[in-house]
Homo-oligomer: A and B are copies of this chain.
Amino acid sequence: MTGPRYTALVASLPATVPFVGPETQERERGAPFRARIGANENVFGPSPQAIAAMQAAEAEIWKYGDSTSYDLRHALAAHHGCAPENVMVGEGIDGILGYLVRLVVAPGDAVVTSDGAYPTFNYHVAGFGGALTKLPYRDDAEDLAALLDRAAELDAKLVYFANPDNPMGSMLPRDAIEALLDRIPEGTLLVLDEAYVEFAPEATAPRIAIDDPRVIRLRTFSKAYGMAGARVGYALAAAPLIAAFDKVRNHFGMNRSAQAGALAALQDHGWLEHVRAEVAQARYRITAIAAGCGLTALPSATNFVAVDCGRDGAFARRVLAELGARGVFVRMPFVAPQDRCIRISAGTPQDLDALAEALPQALAAARG
């Protein structure tokens, strides 16, 4: 008896995983982390109104969620000043990226991203057989002009660009992006991942007509809205592209309580302001803690800070391991020269107390 016959594409895929989760690391080390500031989660949590809405919705969890996410989609359209037909709600940006890659990438199709940018995008491109080209960062930022030029050379179907960027926290101001839009090649779709944009300065998100067929914007309730575990993201794009998702998406895939939570979170502007303020405080303190250790923190338009450990990737990996051994979960960029840094998420004062205690020790151990 043999097992199933996988597709040739699946048989060729490695069994790699984009990220090892903190729970897995905690089980491996045999103890919980003191500070969970590695996955760019929002430790300040969602609006209390969102929590209350989710808790109330559990009483009706026997019902499937609305397959059209009607209420949330309409609220998002009002929020962004577009039509509901320009909004697609999905299972986090990860889920939406999977659908999007499936819609446009056939085996061998060219796709362009930055070397060291979001690995889950790369995972989906590989999973559908795309030919991924990775361009280096420039001055610790994704190089949009170079990405678009390479897309033209390769006749790429997708270009991935995160603004603000993860893992470095850098951003490109909207004027600079808008000036480059006309360099999007014919037939290429720019995937503008704005997961962190609510943390960025006002003039970060570019002004792009919602019906512009060259761009899809991705947003999420996982970061500024503090609902990573709920799995709610959304895409903003021209109506024909939004409609195309209906051909492949899991129509009844949304958690009903998460839909209710996102709707409530969207309406609590005060909480979003509170979170932004807390995150700004935390970024400031991470920068100060790093400086106290003689390290330079990079400027950040997100809820995390990349801290330059001053040597190479091997050294930063040792610092990371030593922090982990001291109960502080952080992550780091995968690719040189950005891997000279560790990436620290905005934590609570208690989280950052743990960081302040552990970082000098970790640096000493890594050096010694």
- Write out, one digit per residue, whether chain A residues 166-205 have a CB within 8 A of any chain B CB (1) or not (0): 0000000000000000000011010000000000000000
From B39, B60, B230, A255 is in contact (CB under 8 Å) with B230
Assess the A21–B67 pair: CB atoms within 8 A: yes
Assess the B244–A19 pair: CB atoms within 8 A: no
Tell me which residues across on chain B come within 8 A of A92, comparing CB atoms.
Answer: 250, 252-253
Kindly state whether residue A258 has any CB partner on chain B within 8 Å.
Answer: yes
Assess the A64–B10 pair: CB atoms within 8 A: no
Kindly state whether residue A365 has any CB partner on chain B within 8 Å.
Answer: no
Assess the B244–A10 pair: CB atoms within 8 A: yes
Assess the A229–B255 pair: CB atoms within 8 A: yes
Within the complex, what minimum Cβ distance (angstroms) separates A351 from chain B? 12
Tell me which residues across on chain B come within 8 A of A187, comparing CB atoms.
Answer: 2, 4-5
Kindly state whether residue A46 has any CB partner on chain B within 8 Å.
Answer: yes
Assess the B23–A227 pair: CB atoms within 8 A: no
Question: Looking at A14, A54, A247, which has the most chain B CB atoms within 10 Å of its CB?
Answer: A247
Which residues between 40 and 62 of chain A lie within 8 Å of chain B, taking CB atoms? 41-46, 51, 54-55, 57-62
Tell me which residues across on chain B come within 8 A of A230, comparing CB atoms.
Answer: 61, 255-257
- Write out, one digit per residue, whether chain A residues 85-99 have a CB within 8 A of any chain B CB (1) or not (0): 000000110110010
Assess the A70–B4 pair: CB atoms within 8 A: no
A261 to B240 alpha-carbon distance, docked (Å): 37
Assess the A254–B228 pair: CB atoms within 8 A: no
User: How many copies of the shown chain assemble into the complex?
Assistant: 2
Tell me which residues across on chain B come within 8 A of A158, comparing CB atoms.
Answer: 4
Which of A101-109, A145-153, A287-295, A314-322 touches B?
A101-109
Assess the B103–A63 pair: CB atoms within 8 A: no
Assess the B51–A58 pair: CB atoms within 8 A: yes
Within the complex, what minimum Cβ distance (angstroms) separates A184 from chain B? 8
Tell me which residues across on chain B come within 8 A of A60, comparing CB atoms.
Answer: 229
Assess the A15–B243 pair: CB atoms within 8 A: yes
Assess the A23–B62 pair: CB atoms within 8 A: no
Assess the B227–A62 pair: CB atoms within 8 A: yes
From B6, B45, B104, B214, A103 is in contact (CB under 8 Å) with B6
Within the complex, what minimum Cβ distance (angstroms) separates A96 from chain B? 10
A219 to B216 alpha-carbon distance, docked (Å): 36
A169 to B71 alpha-carbon distance, docked (Å): 33
Kindly state whether residue A7 has any CB partner on chain B within 8 Å.
Answer: yes
Apart from A15-B247, A61-B261, A229-B256, 14 more pairs, CB < 8 Å = A1-B214, A2-B187, A5-B187, A15-B243, A17-B67, A23-B67, A41-B63, A43-B62, A61-B226, A62-B227, A64-B222, A120-B251, A127-B247, A231-B254
A228 to B186 alpha-carbon distance, docked (Å): 43
